[in-house]
Structure 1
């Protein structure tokens, strides 16, 4: 009976849920890209020797991690128009998710950079690279390799948290499901199908993250450092 009801309504529900799913994926991709950019900027500020850049980075992380995502979304969508800045619901959702998850990705990048010997940065600076060039050419590629698994885990978390954007009227998967529930009065069937769609996206990514993590655990720090030294020579070459 349960499966039969879903099958009878699938022709109507399916296209609408897939449209909402497409918007969920767009929110996820946009928010994750923005979060990665901000996180790299934060980590670059933390790598500087000056006190002010480090304070700015710490302050941003504290605020982003201490304020609920929904509050930030409300500020972007409802409060900014009073300051003369109007964002669409989709743009507000993307920016809000990116701002919050930047704080978490910054910690991921920090752990990845912390696994790289400090001597590599010093060697890059001694070879004539600027601090930004050393960060971009020498340190960042190695850090990304070390953080692929946690980055995938955060990507899955961001995708699930994108459902909060339904509260600012972004027509993503959760909001579409609520509309279908209101029309059909079949909440169990609608949200069971919605949960299946979320699971179908999150589970493969989680499996991939665990697989990558297990593969990377097979490499010792000694082997990793040896591979890093040729990259330093390439980056420092004219």
Structure 2
């Protein structure tokens, strides 16, 4: 028990701060960029631009996130543009997440009826006012539950950034296993720590799904 409290937990908790930082920062990038991409894809009407967004989304979604992290961390360094592990993790997961959230937001916009746009335009609102004041708030409401599920998945997926030496939970766990050989104790403690962080978030996601999951075409 003393070894657990004096050695294992301090290291894992230090890693947990990095895990939370990477999760929040990459989620911010993903949610913001994904929303902008969805807006352009849904309302620009420019075929070439829409094709570029579709290609961007398909590329990021169909290649493992670890590949993108390696490109950012090792690939850029090989051409003289080095980036440290935590920024690489945040940017990599954020860009991959933007492809996921783009589809989530697009589903939110697709769930809205066209009658609202027509009515708003009929009373003198501009197209931009309709998008920002009428459609976007409702689309965001519809998208909240799947966004919450994505955030929960992102928290767990941050474990892959240990592969580029980002000092999160699994990075510290592997380091301690290498030096102490207490494999079961250390990895079990890491798993419980992930569980302790995930459960409150999962509860929040469940609340969102209960409140907004029944949203239909409006």
Q: Does TM, normalized by the shorter one, top 0.5?
A: yes
Q: 1:219 to 1:91 in 2, by over 3 A?
A: closer
Residues 56 and 203 of structure 1: CA distance in aligned 2, closer, same or farther (over 3 Å): same
CA displacement at 1:206 relative to structure 2: 1.8
- Aligned pair in 2 of structure 1 residues 139, 84: CA closer, same or farther (>3 Å)? farther
Please report how far the alpha carbon of residue 215 of structure 1 lies from its aligned counterpart in structure 2 after TM superposition. Answer: 2.5
State the distance in 2 between where 1:72 and 1:89 align. Answer: 13
- Cα drift, residue 159 of structure 1: 1.0
**Is 1:208 aligned to 2:192, yes or no?**
no
Residue 10 of structure 2: aligned partner: 15
Q: CA separation in 2, counterparts of 1:217 and 1:103?
A: 22
Matched residue SS, 1:147? helix
Is 2:167 the partner of 1:178?
Answer: no
Task: Please give the root-mean-square deviation of Cα atoms over the aligned residues, in Å.
Answer: 1.8
Gaps of 5+ in 2: none
What is the alpha-carbon distance in structure 2 between the residues aligned to residue 71 and residue 148 of structure 1? 28
Q: Which runs of 4+ in 1 moved over 6 A?
A: none
Q: 2:48 corresponds to which residue?
A: 52
Residue matched to 2:24: 29
TM-score by length of 1: 0.84
User: For residue 64 of structure 1, what is the aligned residue in structure 2?
Assistant: 60
| Count of residues in correspondence between the two structures | 216
- How far apart, in 2, do the equivalents of 1:104 and 1:149 lie? 14
**Structure 2 partner of 1:228:** none
Distance change (3 Å), C-alpha of 1:58 and 1:87: same
Q: What displacement does 1:59 show?
A: 0.5
- In the superposition, the TM-score normalised over structure 2's length comes to 0.91
Instruction: Identify unmatched segments of 5+ residues in structure 1.
Output: 226-238
| Displacement of 1:190 | 0.4
Partner of 2:194, secondary structure, is helix
* Stretch of structure 1 that moved more, 200-209 or 174-183: 200-209
